[in-house]
Amino acid sequence: MRTEHDFLGEMNVPDDVYYGVQTMRALENFHITGNHLDPDFIHAMALVKKAAALANMKTGRLPKKIGAALVQAADEILAGKWLDQFPVDPIQGGAGTSVNMNMNEVLCNRALEILGQPKGRYDIVSPNNHANMAQSTNDVFPTSMKVCLILKGKKLNEALRALEAALLDKEEAFKDVIKMGRTHLQDAVPVTLGQEMGAYASAVHRGRKRIKRSLEGVHTINMGGTAVGTGLNAEPQYIRGVAKELSGLTGELFTTASNLIDMTNNTDGFAEVSSAMKCTALVLIKMANDFRLMASGPRCGLNELKLPARQPGSSIMPGKVNPVMAEVLDQACYQVIGNDLAVTFASENGQFELNVMEPVMAYNLFSAMQCLTNAIYAFIDKLLKGLEANRSQCQYWVNHSVGIITALLPHIGYEKASFLAREAYATKRPVRDIIREHHILTEEQMEHILSPWEMTTPGIAGAAWMEASQRKISG
């Protein structure tokens, strides 16, 4: 053990760890989630600390020997080392001070080793004076959140892009599968299964763009604002330089906020990212539930889709197979929506020059992104890739639906169409049989008007044929 102290007193710290006294206090105080910090967040904070050290060395305030050791320590963390040295709970009081100091202590103790000094010699390399130079938790923590969101956002964007592509593949594969469209859970008019898949792809594309736009806002940072955004203890050269250094390290363009006080005490940018994920989750829930309904049965439901069988569906009913991949996507999206509510409450609860609830925002934002990314890939790999259309069942529902009468309106008028509908409902016979019986249309006219192309695709050729057909009928 080694003895370390802060202004509250002394504590014994295991000699084999790189964290120190303030991390130990956090371990005593915060037993909340039972989880550790997100590895991407640790990576993001190491990037921020490296950028700060580089900027401070250029101002001349941070001795190059110490700065170089801190940069090397940060590089080791960025390479995946020392992740077990960040044991603090993600949800904590103090606006993230424990996380910031955990990083400062690890960087300093590793830097001390690099310099040939024992851990805990903070008179040589200090967590507060050197690793935290010209910084505060109040600018480091939200900036690290933003870097982490961009890292995770790229992964989520790729997942959504893959989902969009998979749906577009199904649009092409199912373009000739005619089926009944439904509104109010009732028969409406025909649509192709490919058109439905294309509509899902379009909605996913919109959600992906929505999230991407929201992440543009987190490229504005408050580094250099220090405690409340006034820039206390930070040199103007450092404030200008730290965003430039961070941009160079990440390949992303980070800019310093024009109003550092605003950027320090307002968290609407985080709420916007969370809201964008929630809106996208709503789209995915709707899609997953449509899949569940179309696959219902198979004997006593719609049975229009054949989902890949992934596991036995019941511990008591032999042969039952459930739509588990659609169900898990639903549940992941529910979690995203719940996380959004937590972010909303946390964002609302800032007072004066700081929102101290950023740790719970970070925890929920990172969790939502990870959960959504994983669920999307599972849905693609375990459901979409093996998805099949039950073509005969889709056609059966079209043939026995009264909804196709809507396609006849421009050709035979509302009165005759209403007669057909009443007759079909009363006799439970196919609409085509009634048309033939009453000689309402010729076989050629009926086959064209009720063809999948005519019922699902508006166009000039269809309109021209319709006009000619109406002349024949009226004649």
User: Using one digit for the tens of pLDDT, what is the confidence trace for 79-91?
Assistant: 999 999 999 999 9
How high is the pLDDT of residue 174?
Answer: 97
Question: Residue 181 is encoded by which pair of tokens?
Answer: 């469209």
pLDDT tens digits, 305-315 = 999 999 888 88
As a three-state string, the secondary structure of the chain is CEEEEECCEEEEECCCCCCCHHHHHHHHHCCCCCCCCCHHHHHHHHHHHHHHHHHHHHHCCCCHHHHHHHHHHHHHHHCCCCHHHCCCCCCCCCCCHHHHHHHHHHHHHHHHHHCCCCCCCCCCCCHHHHHCCCCCHHHHHHHHHHHHHHHHHHHHHHHHHHHHHHHHHHHHHCCCCEEEEEECCEEEEEEEHHHHHHHHHHHHHHHHHHHHHHHHHHHEECCCCCCCCCCCCCCHHHHHHHHHHHHHHHCCCCEECCCHHHHHHCCHHHHHHHHHHHHHHHHHHHHHHHHHHHCCCCCCCCCCEECCCCCECCCCCCCCECCHHHHHHHHHHHHHHHHHHHHHHHHHCCECCECCCHHHHHHHHHHHHHHHHHHHHHHHHHCHHHCEECHHHHHHHHHCCCHHHHHHHHHHHHHHHHHHHHHHHHHCCCHHHHHHHCCCCCHHHHHHHCCHHHHHCCCHHHHHHHHHHHHHHHC
Calpha distance 160→148 (Å, rounded): 18
The pTM score is 0.91
Give the confidence band of 463 by pLDDT, cuts at 50, 70, 90: low
Told to judge if 314 belongs to the known catalytic residues of this protein, a careful annotator would answer yes
pLDDT tens digits, 396-449 = 999 888 888 888 888 899 999 899 989 998 998 988 899 999 999 999 888 888
Name all domains of the chain by residue range, CATH numbers in brackets.
2-133 (1.10.275.10), 139-391 (1.20.200.10), 402-474 (no CATH)
Least confident of 73-87, 184-198, 434-448, 452-466: 452-466
pLDDT tens digits, 347-374 = 999 999 999 999 999 999 999 999 999 9
How high is the pLDDT of residue 142?
Answer: 98
Per the prediction, the chain carries an average pLDDT of: 94
Active-site residue, from 314, 392, 401, 469 = 314
Calpha distance 306→294 (Å, rounded): 9
